[in-house]
Amino acid sequence: MFCKKCGTEVTEGNYCPTCGARLKDEPGTPSFDSMSMKAGKNGAGSGSKARMIV
- Residue-wise pLDDT tens digits, 4-46: 999 999 999 999 999 999 988 666 655 555 555 554 455 445 5
Asked if the structure places residue 29 within a domain, the reply is yes
What long-range pairs does 1-8 form, CB within 8 A, spacing at least 24? none
pLDDT of residue 20: 92
Asked if the structure places residue 49 within a domain, the reply is no
| Overall domain count for the chain | 1
pLDDT of residue 3: 92
Asked if the structure places residue 33 within a domain, the reply is yes
Asked if the structure places residue 22 within a domain, the reply is yes
Looking from the CA of 27 toward its CB, the CA atoms found within 13 Å total 0
Write out the residue range of the structural domain in which residue 33 sits.
Answer: 1-40
